[in-house]
Structure 1
Amino acid sequence: MVAVTTTLSIGEVSERTGLSVHALRFYEHEGLFINTVRRGPGGRRVYSQDDVAWLNVCIILRASGMPLTALRRYADLVRDGAGNEEERLALMREHQERVTTEIGRLTESLDLIRFKVGVYEDLADQGSAAAHQCHAPSPSADEERTPLPRHKAVVQ
């Protein structure tokens, strides 16, 4: 049985990934593809489903805040193949720690936002726009272990 390889144009890859044509060219220029981007007979870029799958990994890692330098290093390691799994693991663990810290910060922000929504809902229910001082909820035992700044909220 012969394997059929579907080739995709840069526009089709842009549609499938949500990346702009400019971003796809940038990713290529920055060495973020694990396979060399092939060229068709007219010199146009030709992509495979594997390229799209890899780009989706890149999109998720970038959305999680992975710096381009780390993503480039990860692409280099994947491109190099087997034998560097320990380095890939270290890179991913480091990024996991950054994401976990950011989730903690975002959770704190969400807690404050939820508190403020509650304050404004109460004020709206009372029909009063009178400003009064209110404080953000006290940290729980779990939050106290995270060295994130606490905020006082004033109705504004």
Structure 2
Amino acid sequence: MTITEVSDKFEIPQDTLRYYERIGLIPHVNRKKSGVRDYTEEDCKWVEFIKCMRGAGLPIEVLIEYVTLFQQGDETIKARKELLIEQRKQLTAKMDDMKKTLERLDYKIDVYEKSVVEKEKELRRIET
């Protein structure tokens, strides 16, 4: 696949894909004789993984570390697992914080909704 096709498929700007490749998040992407990037299915799996992890808020530095460990082979499986477990803990904590924020927003919205309803009732009493 070309960079344009990968960009369209994953809704990631081409510049972002080039950046991910440059910093090592996407392992070496082959090129055609013309120099055009030729993404394989494996490359696309990396793009999908990175998009998912970035969408969840994992830092680029952590993902670089993960890819580096992956490229070192099976002797790094334990380190990769530990890295993912740590990120999962951090993501869970963020989700707990977000849940609290959501509850607070719901409360505030409810307060304003009740206020609007009361104002409308008051206006109707005055008009009648």
Give the TM-score taking structure 1 as reference length.
0.74
Q: Corresponding residue for 2:124? A: none
Number of residue pairs aligned between Structure 1 and Structure 2: 120
Q: How does 1:64-103 map to 2 (within 5 A)?
A: 64-103=56-95
1:81 Cα deviation after fit: 2.2
1:41 Cα deviation after fit: 1.3
1:13 aligns with 2:2: no
Segments of 5+ residues of structure 2 without an aligned counterpart are 121-128
Is the 8 Å Cα contact of residues 32 and 72 (structure 1) preserved in structure 2? yes
- The structure 1 residue matched to 2:102, chosen from 107, 110, 123, is 110
The residue identity in structure 2 corresponding to 1:83 is E
Deviating beyond 4 angstroms after TM superposition, the runs of 4 or more aligned structure 1 residues are none
Segments of 5+ residues of structure 1 without an aligned counterpart are 1-7, 129-156
Give the TM-score taking structure 2 as reference length.
0.89
1:18 Cα deviation after fit: 1.0
Q: Corresponding residue for 2:29? A: 37
Give aligned-pair identity as a percent. Answer: 28
Q: Corresponding residue for 2:123? A: none
What is the RMSD of the two structures over their aligned residues, measured on CA atoms?
A: 1.1
